[in-house]
Amino acid sequence: MKIILKGGRIIDPSQNIDKIADLIIEDDQIHSIVNDIDCSDSDEVYHCKDLWVVPGLVDIHARFNEPGHKHRESILTGTQSAASGGYTMIGYSPFTTPPIDNTALINHIIDESASPESGGIYLAPISMASLGGIHQEIVDIESLKEIGVVAISDDGVPIQDPQFFWKVLKSCSEVNMPFLLDPRDTKISANGSMHDGSWAAVLGLKGIPSLSEEIMVARGCLMALHSECQTHIMRISTAGSVQIIRKAKLMGAPISAEVSPHHLIFTDRDINEYNSMFKTMPPLRSEKDRDALIEGLIDGTIDCICSDHTPYTHYEIDVPFEQAPFGSIGFDTAFSSVYTHLTKPNILSPLETISKLSYQPANILGTEGGSFMAGETPFAQITVIDPMKTWTYDVNDSFSKGKNSPFHEREFTSKVLLTFCGQEVYRSKDFDPKRHAINMQSILA
Amino acid sequence: MFRNLLGIRYLDKNQILELLDLTHDFRIKYYNNKDFPDCSKTNIGLLFSSNSRRTKSSFQQAANLVGSNCVEYSLRKDDELGSESFKDAIKTISQEFVDILVIRHSSAGSALYTTKFFTGPVINAGDGNHEHPTQAFADASTILHHFKSMDGLVITMVGDFLESRIARSNAWLFSKLGAEVRWIGPKNLLPTNFDSLPVKIYSNLDDAMCNTNVIFCLRMKKHRLEDRTWGSFPGYIKSFQINKKRLKSARSDAIILHAGPVNRGIEIEDTLVDSDVFHMGKQIENGLFARSASIYWVLQNKNQLEKSMASTLNQVEQ
């Protein structure tokens, strides 16, 4: 089977390509990038003039809540939401109930990933660092690696004990396994519900100091340096964290870092009058922090952008602010929000944008993705985007069961039209087969 | 058309003056044996889901003054049936012919949240550490009784600001009426960042007391007695207790207010509590009039209120 994506703007940071060309897929694999190919012998042709054709987006970690809280998200609804946002590969967060910490649960995720339910989206398994997530016994990292675990993490239950943390990093380092760090001192952040800034003082809410993150980022950087464990710092939010990571990289610490779109766009002031859609962990910080995060993203201190997908149902968030859970969904809006606020105003180039959302996250996880290089990925992972399309996001239209998004009713420029995951193809309702498809009798019919 | 009373932060100067005039007016009526406006057809729901020492009974008494009927509600946590959500509790109360809902809740912003589901006016009787507007009217009314105008006054508040809704409501009210508001207390009990609050932060009590007209002591909460991670009581007394010697730094006609109840010998020297400069009794009394005024105010639209006030003042003058 031969599919051609014709005449699109092909952006592939792995090969430093940004040009108008044709992308050929043969037998579900990327075959080549060529100029103006004859389409007569192809089975399907997508006419991609004025569209971006990029490697499928990759998210280092996201919360699906399966097992434990399928009312918030299941693999089916999570992967549908991911595909609609252009994602083809997701690190599956172990922060579930019970936490994912053994081969049986990992195998379950691997099986689910291969099942038709997941729509071809590759769910890369991540294991909790300790059995039960209570940080007393380290999981069997070597065995977990053998069956396909791509990283170890303390997502959602940050390790506080420095000695235990040190042992985890050394164990990961021993088998060359990346560690995904949730940088939060839970004592310093205890009972807080928003950034410890001037707006928290007005609203009468207990603040979460920047210090609660920065002290753990600093500890993580130093421990990574000394243990030589590849450490990825998840969801940073403060100017201090950016500075610490910048210095640690200069010192040679084997670290990488990520930021979410909402921390690049919003501040604590957007909480306005107790709007729990803006209650995230880490919290939205000050304007100074937001500017430092953007600067860190531009100069490469921050390697990639995560969706920070953390779904909760409408009834769970429709409570007074202090009682609302932390988090927001992110698959649907990650690309469009980054494009609208950073790419369109030329803060990030198109190549940098795709690098932060696809190539870099795949690289950090050590997985095959984020590239159009032939043979680089086991199956074709491609996202096709209309960069001109303007639309207004309605969280109620999301495939996700989560209805918590700070982007609800926000206007975006750019929209994902197609997501290819091997044989599976997600088509947005904005995809117009009459305009974009040729030789596709099945679609046109 | 009705209004909510959710916080001083949301009110403009005219609205604040309206409520203070009404409070003053009700006090005059009470001491002249004049009738209060008739709110006898008004059912007031009192939903107090966190501890209240005095506010609840003050609202009950205030409702009596205007002839309203009170119904008490609570948020139950029943292990067998599961706890009803806050939202559903409010919707249920709405169906029971409650005209005004007075709410005390431990979460900041809960009074505002309540307005989404309650069909009538909502009065905030304390939402977490956010605001306690009726207490601010009681306090301001006490100050105005003594000084006639708030404009240009220096008001120094001392104590625990981290967990004080009264400090926030009063800071907004005093500053909106032209007073200078100073805050002083242990660093661990002050907000980290106060740039958006209308206050000046001081680190030395004698400096803060200079030219002060009103000293406002905040209560040291009970759990501070047990949780001593914020500092020590001997240290607090040494640096922040209001005593006769320190009072000399203030203006000679200065008065002392207290959010109550008093921890004698901690926030304030014991003998000062029984002296003439201590006005907490007046604050409690004005609390009744401020709450009666609030009940009346939330039910009125602006035109009705102006008419009614004009007729009341005529009555008193006659």
Confidence at residue B66, expressed as pLDDT on a 0 to 100 scale: 95
- CB-CB neighbors (< 8 A) of A273 in chain B: 109, 112
The verdict on a CB contact (< 8 Å) between A322 and B130 is: no
Question: Could B196 and A318 be called an inter-chain contact, meaning their C-beta atoms sit closer than 8 Å?
Answer: no
- Mean pLDDT of all residues in A170-187: 98
Q: How far apart are CA A124 and CA A431, in angstroms?
A: 28
Q: Residue B132's pLDDT is what?
A: 98
CA distance A19 to chain B (A): 49
Q: Give the sign of the dihedral formed by CA B265, CA B270, CA B273, CA B277.
A: negative
A270: confidence class by pLDDT, cuts 50, 70, 90 = very high
- Per-residue pLDDT, averaged over A283-309, amounts to 98
pLDDT of residue A378: 77
pLDDT value at residue B224: 75
The domains found in chain B, sorted by start residue, are 8-133+288-313 (3.40.50.1370), 134-282 (3.40.50.1370)
Contact B108 A196 (CB under 8 A): no
Mean pLDDT, chain A, whole residue set: 95
> Who among B130, B194, B195 is closest to A204 (CB)?
B130
Query: Which residue in B has a C-alpha nearest to residue A274's C-alpha?
Result: B109
Q: What is the pLDDT of residue B305?
A: 52
CB contact under 8 A, A320 and B109: yes
Q: Output DSSP code: residue A343.
A: I
Q: Is B10 on the interface with A (CB under 8 A)?
A: no
Write the pLDDT tens digit of every residue in A340-371. Answer: 999 999 999 999 999 999 999 999 999 989 99
Judging contacts by C-beta atoms under 8 Å, the chain A residues touching residue B108 are 203-205, 274, 320-322
Q: What are the chain A neighbours of B127 within 8 Å (beta carbons)?
A: 204
Total Cβ atoms within 10 A of residue A115? 12
Q: Among residues A12, A154, A182, A308, which one is catalytic?
A: A308
Q: Is A299 annotated as catalytic?
A: no
Q: What is the pLDDT of residue A423?
A: 85
* A196 interaction partners in chain B (CB closer than 8 Å): 192-193
For A11, the token pair is 């952006």
Residues of chain B predicted below pLDDT 50 = 79, 316-318
CB contact under 8 A, B192 and A196: yes
For A316, the closest chain B residue by CA position comes to B85
A-to-B residue pairs, Cβ atoms closer than 8 angstroms: 73
Q: Do B113 and A274 touch (CB under 8 A)?
A: yes
State the average pLDDT over residues A180-196. Answer: 97
Q: Which residues of A touch B106 (CB under 8 A)?
A: 322
List, in sequence order, the alpha helices (H) in A187-260: 198-203, 211-227, 239-250
Lowest mean pLDDT among A122-131, A374-383, B8-17: A374-383
Q: Which string of DSSP letters, residue by residue, matches B10-37?
A: G--HHHHHHHHHHHHHHHHHHHTTPPPP
- At residue A41 the predicted structure's pLDDT band, cuts being 50, 70 and 90, is confident
Q: Is the pLDDT of residue A269 over 60?
A: yes
B194 contacts in chain A (CB < 8 Å): 198, 201
Domains in chain A: ranges and CATH: 56-371 (3.20.20.140)
Average pLDDT over residues A383-409: 97
**In Å, how far is B72's CA from the nearest CA of chain A?**
21
Does residue A442 carry a pLDDT above 70? no
Nearest to B196 among A199, A206, A318 (CB): A199
Distance, in angstroms, between A200 CA and closest chain B CA?
A: 8
Contact A202 B196 (CB under 8 A): yes
What is residue A379's predicted lDDT score, i.e. its pLDDT?
A: 85
Closest-CA residue of chain A to B197: A202
The token pair that represents A346 in the structure block = 């030329």
Global pTM value: 0.94
Name which of A382, A440, A403, A400 is nearest A75 in CA terms. A400
CA B138 to chain CA mean position, Å: 6
Report the b/e string of A369-389 with b at 16+ CB within 10 A.
bbbbeeebbebbbbbbbbbeb
